[in-house]
Amino acid sequence: MQLTKTHKIIISAAIIIVLFGLYVVFDSRSKGNLPATGNSALATTTNSASGATAKEIGNTGVNISGEGNFKVEQVGVVPEPIPNLGKPVVFGTDPSLVSSLTPEIKNQILQKISGLQTQLKKDPVDWTGWINLGRYQKMAGDYSATVESWQYASKLAPTDFISLGDLGNLYAYFLKDNAKAESYYKQAIANGPTQAYLYVQLAEVYRDIIKDPVKALATVNSGLTKIPSDPNLLQLKASLIK
């Protein structure tokens, strides 16, 4: 049967929906009822007390939970070395990932990554581009490339907490390295001390993975000293002291 223009539009829309669904489901094991953080694409470098401004890129967005003002400041030079932007994507072999990565979805991911690589070759100091590239690489299960992209993003913006929190999530739930996960989350909190989701995610790593409820509670209390009325922190604290 010959596909009409309408059919093609419907098929393309369906692939995009599935791609977004893959992103959400694949990362659901790494967070509970929290603002989206480690799986979304930040598109601005400033925030106000009412929350961050973001735009969607490939059906991903970021919601940052916290209070106060922050600004992500970029360095004025290109840090060396720049990650290899010509490296082929290596799709992950995790069974739960493989079952979701249909040829159509793989093609969509490759297109997104290729576009971002082309963009970053022209403008390697595009911090948002590196954040987004890492997230599509993570969606593909290419974790070594994800690490490179997010580490480079953190070099471009020394005050950045987004990439550091994402790295904490990656190491905790996907690369299974608790020491690095803890280190990256602590760096992220140092840069974004009023971002409640960082305290919540680190506390959940302590509780669920490291099995240290004392550190989990201490992390929540630390967050409450900065954000006393945050509902996520208060709810998590209540669950920890039962």
pLDDT digits (tens, 9 = 90+) for 111-166: 999 999 999 999 999 999 999 999 999 999 999 999 999 999 999 998 999 999 99
Query: What is the rounded CA–CA span in Å between residue 57 and residue 182?
Result: 29
Which residue in 42, 52, 48 sits closest to 68, CA to CA?
48
CB 75 within 8 A of CB 156: yes
Question: Distance (Å, rounded) from C-alpha 145 to C-alpha 137?
Answer: 7
Least confident of 20-24, 82-86, 98-102: 20-24
| Cβ–Cβ under 8 Å, residues 191 and 60 | no
Q: What's the mean per-residue pLDDT of the chain?
A: 79
Give the mean model confidence (pLDDT) for residues 10-27.
Answer: 46
What is the pLDDT averaged over residues 37-57?
29
Phi (first) and psi of residue 71, to 5 degrees: -140, 130
pLDDT of residue 51 exceeding 80: no
Q: State the residue for tokens 């506390």.
A: 203
Count of C-beta atoms within a 10 Å radius of residue 79: 13
Q: Which tokens is 234 given?
A: 């208060």
Give the single-character DSSP code of 29: G
Backbone angles phi, psi at 114, to 5 degrees: -60, -45
Assess contact for 24 and 60: CB atoms under 8 A. no
- Residue 29 above 80 pLDDT? no
Task: Say yes or no to pLDDT of 198 above 90.
Answer: yes
Give the pLDDT confidence score for residue 216 in this predicted structure: 98
Confidence grade of residue 35 (pLDDT, cut at 50, 70, 90): very low
Average pLDDT over residues 160-175: 97
pTM: 0.75
- What is d(CA 39, CA 127) in angstroms, rounded to the nearest whole number? 16
Q: What is the largest CA-CA distance in the chain?
A: 64
Show the tokens assigned to 115.
């576009």
Cα–Cα distance for residue pair 144/111, rounded to 1 Å: 19
Helices (H), 86-195: 95-98, 103-122, 127-140, 143-156, 162-173, 178-191
Contact 97, 23 (CB under 8 A): no
